[in-house]
Amino acid sequence: MTVSTPDTPAKPVVWRDYMNRRMLAILIFGFSSGLPLFTLLSLLQAWLATSGLNVKALGLFALVMFPYTWKFLWSPLMDRFQFGSLGRRRGWMALTQAALFFAIGTMGMLDPLTQISAVAAMASLVAFLSASQDIVVDAYRREVLPDNQQGLGAAVYVNAYKMAGMVPGALSLILADRMPWQPVFWITAAFMLPGLICTLLVKEPELYGAPPKNISQAVLLPFREFIARDGWRNALWILAFIFLFKLGDSMATALSTKFYLDLGFSMTQIGVIAKTTGLWASLAGGIVGGIWMLKLGINRGLWVFGAIQAVAVLGFAWLAHVGPDPLVLGTVIAFEAFGSLGLGAAAFVAFLSRATDPRYTATQYALFSSLAAVPRTFINASAGYIVAETGWFLFFFVCFALTIPGMLLLPKIAPWSQKH
């Protein structure tokens, strides 16, 4: 097995490619990036659901995720300015990580019954800080790794990102059955501290070319390069694919905790069976996907992994039909996590990295990942209304249908005949 790019010769893949300080830092930063998102997707949803909010209100809470969609608007500031003495990347990481610790802990001190507006505002703040952290962590990962390790770095980052979901999606839910919500949120927030410590210890990545001299350059040059690369038409095809590729899968999991609760599972069952099973399956999928993609190439990986990702959505319909069977729950979650959070995510992140010019890392990657977050923010907000009208079983068939448009764009975006 070898790693190669069009610009670098093939190099044997050895464990040293994983076991170095850069990969360890990316592992920790991936965990720090995933923790706030899964806090909003899992812990916040369980907290609000047990407080008595109906499914429509829970669906609308997806709108607090809007910073993930619009983060490209302030990403040029992180390319242009340096915050503090730690450097351009480390300074912004330290600021966002410290702020997330306090924001997550403070959110749990509110009362969702009497302070729902304050809860929404604090959740939006967590999303804003989390999206800002993602901007600089993505830039750090792109800049600190050589070209022949970008694929491996993407797999490590994705796996760590998903591993973070075990805290708010499993540990925190189990603790919530045994203690008040306030300490649960502060315990969850404490898992941001390893990322902050790592930020203080790592070195600042070397600059790839001169940084933008002013705000105008920081804003305009990344967009000009992306459009001039292959023209307007190809740029629009790429943006459409980024929006559509994970649309159906994202909607299928938008209200997963509410779905499990409605079927009759307890929070402890969700934490122990669903979340832990999903964690290990997604980690396995990320590792298999990262290695398999080295042989297939990114293009073919998108075809194969995208098809598996689409089929996995139908597993939720099966679970809705069968009912609260723990074995079926574990099977469905494992397959979906392996196919979507593992295989599909590894190929998708590799595709985004390949589409990014290293001279404009923060801004371009923020643009691509912001567009990918649109379904999770605005489209998913309609999930509760669809469920209320169709029921869970038919809802998942709607989600499966939404996986098809992205696959239909693959011949244009990632032709099977082009391995790289």
What per-residue confidence (pLDDT) applies to 405? 94
- Mean pLDDT of all residues belonging to the chain: 84
Stronger pLDDT, 151 or 317, i.e. the higher one: 317
418 within domain boundaries: no
Q: What is the DSSP letter of 167?
A: I
Indicate whether 329 pLDDT > 70: yes
Tens-place pLDDT, residues 245-286: 989 988 898 888 889 989 988 878 887 877 678 778 877 887
Side-chain-side CA neighbours of 28 within 13 Å: the count stands at 19
The verdict on residue 420 lying in a domain is no
Number of independent structural domains in the chain: 1
How is residue 315 written in tokens?
């597993």
Domain assignment present for 45:
yes
| Residue pair 273/326 in contact by the 8 Å Cβ criterion | yes
Q: How confident is the model at residue 315, as a pLDDT?
A: 93
pLDDT at 363 over 70: yes
pLDDT above 60 for 3: no
Weakest mean pLDDT among 220-229, 275-284, 397-406: 275-284
In the predicted structure, residue 224 carries a pLDDT above the cut 80: yes
Confidence of residue 8 (pLDDT cuts 50, 70, 90): very low
How do residues 120-152 score in pLDDT, each as one tens digit? Answer: 899 999 999 999 999 999 889 888 877 667 667
Residue 292 covered by a domain: yes
> What is the span of the domain harbouring residue 206?
2-413
Give whichever of 11-25, 61-75, 122-136 has the largest mean pLDDT.
Answer: 122-136
CB within 8 A of 380, min separation 6: which ones? 59, 62, 65, 250, 251, 254
pTM score of the predicted model: 0.72
For residues 368 and 349, what is the distance between their CA atoms, to the nearest angstrom?
A: 10
Question: Domain for residue 202, yes or no?
Answer: yes
Q: Give the per-residue pLDDT at 167.
A: 92
Residue 70's pLDDT is what?
Answer: 84
pLDDT of residue 6: 42
More confident: 80 or 139: 139
Positive or negative, the Cα torsion across 177, 182, 187, 188? positive
Helix axes 256-263, 298-322, angle to 10 degrees: 30
Residue 267 vs residue 336, higher pLDDT: 336
Closest to 257 measured CA to CA, from 103, 413, 44: 44
Torsion angle defined by CA atoms of residues 18, 24, 30 and 32, in that order, rounded to the nearest 10 degrees: 170
Give the CATH number for residue 49.
1.20.1250.20
Asked if residue 419 belongs to a domain, the reply is no
Phi/psi of residue 206, nearest 5 degrees: -70, 150
Q: State yes or no: pLDDT of 241 exceeds 90.
A: yes
Q: Worst-scoring range by mean pLDDT, 136-140, 199-203, 294-298, 399-403?
A: 294-298
Q: Is residue 356 part of a domain?
A: yes
